[in-house]
Structure 1
Amino acid sequence: MNKKNQTVKPKLLSIEQYAYEKNWHSILHSHSFTELFYVVSGKGKFLFFDGYTVNVQSDDLIIIDSNIMHTEMSSNEDPLVYIVLGIQGMTFIPNEDEYRGYSMHNYQEYKHEVLFYLRSLLQEFKSPDAFLESVSDHLLNVLIINIRDERI
């Protein structure tokens, strides 16, 4: 990824782990913040505003910039389980000539490291302790730096 990524003190707005269920309705939507989706297991696809579809599987990381219409769809045979982060104040600009506002990367080789940060963030983000909020901020920054520089 290009180091021209704009970062303005990223703020973690939300983090959740979801397991696809048959009553899930996949509709195009957007957010005013950047989303990072990490596929823990399963298979599915992401559909974007321009009609482009990206197939996803375990250890894929999908980065969707703010205001980009998208939806995720799961395979019924191998349902998606994913962790999604909502991050304010951050935009990734990869080294792609035709950047569309989203990108996909696979971290199978580094899944233990990525999952360590994501699961730590899941745990710390839900804590009411102000000190742990600071820990979450630092974990998020380390994760972003490693993703940006492709070091994990």
Structure 2
Amino acid sequence: MSSRSLLFTSSSCPSVDAVLVSASASRYEGDWSSIPHSHGFTELFYVREGKGNFLIRDDVFPITKDDLIIISPHLSHTELSDSSHPLSYFTVGVDGISFSFHDHKDFKIFNCRQKKTDLLFYFHSIFQELDQKQDGYESICRNMLESLTIQLKRLTDSAFEVVSSQQPSRECADIKRYLDSSYSEPITLDQLSAISHLNKYYLSHEFTKYYGISPISYLNRRRIEVCKELLETTDYGISDIAHLTGFSSQSYLSQSFRKYCGMSAGSYRKLAKKALPVNKAALQSQSRK
């Protein structure tokens, strides 16, 4: 006979500080209208069957069987079913955590069709546990969510982190999305105040409370991240990059880049050009020290 023995050596298991607030199983039967809406929690949307479109703000994305969409809190969205191939899907609402994607988007669509991992099992299990509420269902749901998250990290090329979070107000979430998409424009705290209809001091306090950084500091950090991408992937001059990323001058970019990254933009570009793809993560880590 032959045998294999495997030892589990970890003394502790990672966990996510998440609260499952809802789970639903739906099938389009032509009896409801798709109306854009948002939630105060993160939503996981998994397509079981059929196909259609998913609307996120003003953008439209085709979806079909085994697509998973992660939608951040306060993000307007809805689904539109193909009448000849009706959508059937699970949704799971999760409070207390957020998915921090490395491309700064507040949603992600994962194509799971070519993967061998059965993500549908986790969604079905969570829905069943919340529906039946047998002894210990809360623990099972938490474990299912954690397993689902780990499987996502395994199958996707789009890096993300799961972090505990307080849910931001709608105004703060809107300002963050505005900064993520409009970083190349000249932006002041007074402008953000006008956009959010909040006193600028209150806005700054609330934004810092939820995101751990002030709106203007977040804007500068966002610009620096884009600068790094352009330094790595293009031959634009530093002055051009300053213009493309919203810095008022090359000198201000240089000052900010050195403050955030601990090196000049030129030095970062030289390191990036020399680094092999497998070393890019180390380069990013080095620049944040």
Higher relative contact order structure (alpha carbons within 8 Å, sequence separation ≥ 6): 1
TM-score normalised to the size of structure 2?
0.46
2:51 and 2:85 in contact (8 A); partners too: yes
Q: Which has the larger radius of gyration?
A: 2
1:32 aligned residue (24, 40, 52): 40
Match of 1:144 in 2: 149
TM-score normalised to the size of structure 1?
0.85
1:127 and 1:133 in contact (8 A); partners too: no
CA distance in 2, matches of 1:111, 1:139: 17
Q: Deviations over 1:45-90 (max 9, x none)?
A: 11122x1111100000011000001111100010100011111012
Shift of 1:145: 2.3
Mind listing any 5+ residue stretches in structure 2 that lack a counterpart? 1-14, 157-289
Letter in 2 for 1:103: K
Match of 1:92 in 2: 99
2:131 aligned residue (126, 132, 140): 126
Q: Deviations over 1:89-139 (max 9, x none)?
A: 121122325x1x211011113366211111111211122334122111111
CA distance in 2, matches of 1:34, 1:141: 14
The structure carrying a bigger helix percent of its residues is 2
Aligned Cα root-mean-square deviation (Å): 1.9
Match of 1:105 in 2: 110
Paired residues, number: 142
Shift of 1:8: 5.9
Shift of 1:19: 0.1
> Which is further off, 55-64 or 40-49?
40-49
